[in-house]
Structure 1
Amino acid sequence: WVKEREHGNPTIEVDWDMLTPSFSLKNGLDGFGYPSPYPGYLVHEDALTNPSKMDQNKPGFRMEDYALFLASIQRGLFDHSFDESLGVPPPGPQINNADPTPDAWPDWGRPGEPKFKKVPRWSGTPEEASKMITAAAHYFGAYKVGFLEVDDKVKKLTFADATKWADCDQPYATGEVIPRGFGLGFPAPVKVFPNKMKYVIVLQVTQPFDTMRILGNTKETGHMQPMNASSFALGYNQRLTLLIRMQTFLRVLGYLRSESVWCYNTGGGALAGINEIGRHGIGISPELGSAYRVNLGIFTDLPVVPTPPIDGGMTKFCETCGVCADLCPNEAISKEKEPTWELPPTKLGRPEYGIPAGTPNTWSRPGVKNWHVDYVRCRGCSYCQGYCVFSQQNFASMHNIIKSTISNTTLFNKFFADSDRLFGYSDVDTDFDGWWNRDSSSSVSSLNYARLLGR
């Protein structure tokens, strides 16, 4: 029912001879149209988005409502790490998000503005806090939310030597630097976290599902390729944005918050009930399978209710499946039926990098009974993520019935795995041109794709 018009002729009338360029921001928004030198901060004081209007007894104006707003504007209005007119800086490490919010609520404001009234930090039960955090995190882009209580087990998931704990008021950096090794390519500053940060908010971060599965002839290259790598990159970008907004949300509420300091996010997700761990060494979640990017962990002193691990029969299913191992172009995934405590050496090595076959395993962590991935061979191509049996999500209504069956019995596991191969779910998508030529008006965007399929 929508018709096209000629270029430069919208439905609103424009006199192009009369219209001139302008540097003014004046428009219909409250305060933008007032003539100078009207004190802009007074308009801001009148605005209902000003935290001084907060009323804990008035729905829509409570502290959590303002926390949601102040967190939402992060990176959108206050990221000065690049010039929007000239474009982003060259690729590489950047200092992002010139954050306007200070460490203590409620001294938020624009330069020269009066400080807002002092208010106590948010208070509520752990159940109320969990519900609030879940709602906010989901709004900011987390697919699923879990919680952990920090104990000696959880601390073992953090970066060794770079994460320390002490009786202090605020997290701080010691100035020391620990090399992280070749894989991550940059050193880790040593940071100390208060012992009172006894909880972890675990957030599942998605990535585009369609580009992750377009791999071309990876059997020849054995590498990730630009299109599927773009899926990972966008997922990590989402992770950073989600982290910044959740940190701001907690800050406005008056609670401590950390960066993600754990190195084993798959294990954190398993403990918090986000995922199980599969043959390919990464997470398998009930809704998305392995088709998600990462579990973000934010340590805080806000009391929440821990969520328990789950058992959907997914790890057990891996014993008889092996689709990921069959597809892996680098033979990095074990084809053994049973998981093991042993840390096997690399089977083939990487002779081109001077790593011979049989080199001892120094990349797996002892203490986990699993199918240990030969990361000397892994090139990060995403076969195992995109084509895990559980990553097929809800392409067919039968899939939910199958998942329910797998959760309760192993009797049909081999049949289901063979059916995945038979029906072509493990046939790799090589249609690069099809993606570029897709009808974007009738297909969902990449970031929404996983959500629509998963639920």
Structure 2
Amino acid sequence: MPESLTRREFMKELGKLGAVASLAPMVVAGEQMSDKPYSLKRPSFIKEVDEPTTEIRWDEVKRIAEGEVTARRSFSKYLSQDRLDKLTEIRTANMDKYIKEGRDGYTLKDHALKSGAGKGGVSRVFIQDPEKVQTPEKLGVPNWTGTPEEATMIVSAALRHYGAGTVGVTELDTNTTEKLIYAKDPDGKEMRIEDADMPEEGEDYRVIPKKARWMITYTVQMSEEAMIRCPTHLGSQTTSLTYRRSQNVQERGQFFLGGLGYMAMGESSTNALAIAPAFGVMSGLGELSRYNRLLTPEYGSMVRVFKILTDLPMAPTKPIDAGLLEYCKNCTKCADHCPSKALSFEKEPTWETVGGWNNPGHKAWFEDSVKCRSYWYETGNNCGICFAVCPFASKNLASFSKVRDYMAATVPAFDGTLKKIDDLLYTPYTEFGKPQKTAESWWHENHPDYGIHTDQTVRETS
């Protein structure tokens, strides 16, 4: 090409090779990255905001006892023992029937894969054994020091290296975000926030020192190709695998923070310490969705969310507005496909909670967890269809995904049209409550490591 080739001529030459078709959406979608420090390198149309898109009345928010409230831990509280016994009977009968008849997604190889995916994670602990942590004191050097911005940078880098997807930070405030810490954790232990030098735990309590003000929240990716096989063993196993991977991330993160000379309180068991989606929203990892979970710009619904609390002063990351909650107002896809009809079809979120398992004080589409969890017994798995059919669950590697993300963030009037296009491209018509793809076809595909695409986003700070 001549040295004097103009941009227009250059694009014309690329067009001859068919390259414009793939590059143009990136140009249209404003795919230039923001140079703002201490936050994810995201397209410029994703805005950082002072308040999350989910409306909150902090005076109504209360600390809850996770083990006594959520349907996950207290399912029997919300239905009769006869009904629970019947559901258990149905689950046992269906699992026996499905594996013996070789039902797609329930074959012996599917069962074995699920069994293996649930292994390999280290045990979660609230605090690591101090004798095992290589502290600066043991090494004869002072604690690591740096600016809060540098602290956020190195912690984010470390956690992403250990296996996290995206990382955010929230500084606790007594009148607001501190209320998102559980009053009791899933083990039934009282979570005390006190003036203490170090965290501690006893038979029926755990102590969080007041000086630990920084909640680190991170995502771990799930495999889209496995999740679209929900509600079979193939879909369920990617959830198990993600939780096992998160346990390793937590342990490594706790040892890293301890190695810098700071405390690191983690989740003592699954979904412990604090309300994960809430901290995901507050730290800007995503927005709250119609299915009442975190929806992220990078991975859509294909994440689980985890937390570590520390006294290392860090620069908080801000909430975002990527048009995701607004998109949910015009998209009922998760509710349309929900076999148990546990999700709301209302256009607007509401302040009125559904059931005792939901925490008041924020405006949301509250799910009927009893309907949802009852269906789990029928399938023998955690369902996950709502995650699988979400338009933002796609890998974000196609040109349409880039256009969709831009349009959703900037022109909400087109949300309904974008949803219809997604139906045509990514959601084939299937029998209600069935997977979007057969489980058998999964075994014949060439999957990336862990079934995820790690090139979708990168945490960079300046």
Which range, TM-score by smaller chain?
0.5 to 0.7
Relative contact order (alpha carbons < 8 A, sep ≥ 6): 1 or 2 greater? 2
Q: Which runs of 5+ in 2 are unaligned?
A: 1-115, 185-189, 377-381, 430-434
**CA distance in structure 1 between the aligned counterparts of 2:119 and 2:421, rounded to whole angstroms:** 43
Query: Quick one: which of 365, 383, 386 aligns to 1:384?
Result: 386
Check 1:100–1:367 CA distance in 2 against 1; reply closer, same or farther (3 A cut).
closer
Contact 2:149-2:315 within 8 A present in 1 as well: yes
Counting only pairs closer than 5 Å after superposition, residues 205-244 of structure 1 correspond to structure 2 as 205-215=220-230, 224-244=231-251
Contact 1:288-1:450 within 8 A present in 2 as well: no
Deviations 1:242-301 (CA, angstroms, capped at 9, x unpaired): 0000000001110011013534200100000001000001111001001112x2111101
Check 1:158–1:366 CA distance in 2 against 1; reply closer, same or farther (3 A cut).
same
**CA distance in structure 2 between the aligned counterparts of 1:210 and 1:391, rounded to whole angstroms:** 10
**CA distance in structure 2 between the aligned counterparts of 1:371 and 1:304, rounded to whole angstroms:** 32
Query: Quick one: which of 110, 126, 139 aligns to 2:161?
Result: 139
Q: Does 1:168 align with 2:206?
A: no
Q: Which residue of 2 aligns with 1:151?
A: 173
Query: Quick one: which of 282, 291, 302 aligns to 2:302?
Result: 291
**CA distance in structure 1 between the aligned counterparts of 2:456 and 2:149, rounded to whole angstroms:** 29
**CA distance in structure 2 between the aligned counterparts of 1:332 and 1:386, rounded to whole angstroms:** 15
Q: Which residue of 1 aligns with 2:99?
A: none
| Shift in Å, 1:225 | 2.6
| Shift in Å, 1:238 | 0.9
SS of corresponding position for 1:316: helix
**Bigger proportion of residues as helix:** 2
Contact 2:220-2:246 within 8 A present in 1 as well: yes
SS of corresponding position for 1:341: coil
Query: Quick one: which of 321, 327, 339 aligns to 2:349?
Result: 339
Contact 1:210-1:446 within 8 A present in 2 as well: no
**CA distance in structure 2 between the aligned counterparts of 1:315 and 1:367, rounded to whole angstroms:** 17
Note the aligned Cα RMSD (angstroms): 2.5
How many pairs align? 317
Q: Which residue identity does 2:454 align to in structure 1?
A: R
Q: Which residue of 2 aligns with 1:124?
A: 146
Check 1:168–1:368 CA distance in 2 against 1; reply closer, same or farther (3 A cut).
same
Contact 2:170-2:317 within 8 A present in 1 as well: yes
Contact 1:280-1:373 within 8 A present in 2 as well: yes
SS of corresponding position for 2:145: coil
Q: Does 1:366 align with 2:391?
A: no
Contact 2:216-2:307 within 8 A present in 1 as well: yes
Counting only pairs closer than 5 Å after superposition, residues 316-335 of structure 1 correspond to structure 2 as 316-335=326-345
Q: Which residue of 2 aligns with 1:451?
A: 454
Check 1:91–1:302 CA distance in 2 against 1; reply closer, same or farther (3 A cut).
closer
Identity over the aligned pairs, expressed in percent?
Answer: 31
Contact 2:121-2:245 within 8 A present in 1 as well: no
The structure having more radius of gyration, on CA atoms, is 1
Q: Which runs of 5+ in 1 are unaligned?
A: 1-87, 108-115, 177-189, 216-223, 345-360
Deviations 1:190-233 (CA, angstroms, capped at 9, x unpaired): 21111110111111111222211113xxxxxxxx4321111010
Contact 2:290-2:328 within 8 A present in 1 as well: yes
Contact 2:212-2:311 within 8 A present in 1 as well: yes
**CA distance in structure 2 between the aligned counterparts of 1:200 and 1:91, rounded to whole angstroms:** 27
Check 1:170–1:387 CA distance in 2 against 1; reply closer, same or farther (3 A cut).
same
Q: Which residue of 2 aligns with 1:83?
A: none
| Shift in Å, 1:424 | 3.7
Q: Which residue of 2 aligns with 1:203?
A: 218
Check 1:373–1:426 CA distance in 2 against 1; reply closer, same or farther (3 A cut).
farther
| Shift in Å, 1:384 | 1.1
Q: Which residue of 2 aligns with 1:247?
A: 254
SS of corresponding position for 2:202: strand
Check 1:170–1:314 CA distance in 2 against 1; reply closer, same or farther (3 A cut).
same
Q: Which residue identity does 2:449 align to in structure 1?
A: S
